[in-house]
Amino acid sequence: MIPQLTSYLKEFITPGRFELLQRILENRTRYITVALEDIFQPQNASAVVRSCDCFGIHDLHTIETRNDYIIDREVAMGSDKWVNVMKYHSQTQTSLNVLNQLRNDGYRIVATTPRSGSIALDDFDLKAGKVALFFGTELTGLSPTILDHADEYLKIPMYGFTESFNISVSVAIILHHLNLQLRHSDIVWQLPQHEKELILYRWVKASVKKVDLILDKYCQQNNFSFSQVIKI
| One domain for residues 163 and 51 | yes
Average pLDDT of adjacent 10-residue blocks, the chain of 232 residues: 91 96 97 90 85 96 75 67 87 85 97 90 96 88 93 94 86 97 96 96 94 88 79 76
Nearest Cα to 46, choosing from 82, 67, 81, 75? 75
Q: What is the pLDDT of residues 162-218, one digit of tens each?
A: 877 888 999 999 999 999 999 999 999 999 999 999 999 999 999 999 998 998 888
| One domain for residues 60 and 15 | no
Distance CA 232, CA 227 (A): 9
Strand 119-120 with 152-155, pairing: parallel
Counted domains in the chain: 2
Q: What is the CATH number of the domain that holds 69?
A: 3.40.1280.10
- b/e per residue, 129-164, with b = 16+ CB within 10 A? ebbbbbbbbbeebbbeebeebbeebbbbeeeeeeeb
| One domain for residues 178 and 67 | yes
Write down the pLDDT at residue 65: 72
Domain span holding position 226: 2-22+192-231
Write down the pLDDT at residue 208: 94
User: Structure pTM?
Assistant: 0.90
Distance CA 137, CA 91 (A): 19
| One domain for residues 92 and 206 | no
Write down the pLDDT at residue 218: 86
| One domain for residues 120 and 205 | no
Write down the pLDDT at residue 92: 67
| One domain for residues 137 and 199 | no
Q: What is the pLDDT of residues 157-177, one digit of tens each?
A: 989 988 778 889 999 999 999
| One domain for residues 128 and 214 | no
Distance of CA 195 to the CA centre of its chain: 14
| One domain for residues 15 and 61 | no
Beginning with the edge strand found earlier in the chain, give each strand of the sheet holding 84-88 in spatial order: 84-88, 59-63, 32-37, 131-135, 108-112, 152-155, 119-120
| One domain for residues 89 and 12 | no
Write down the pLDDT at residue 148: 94
Write down the pLDDT at residue 67: 59
| One domain for residues 85 and 41 | yes
First-to-final CA distance of the chain: 10
Write down the pLDDT at residue 219: 85
Write down the pLDDT at residue 43: 81
| One domain for residues 116 and 138 | yes
| One domain for residues 210 and 174 | no
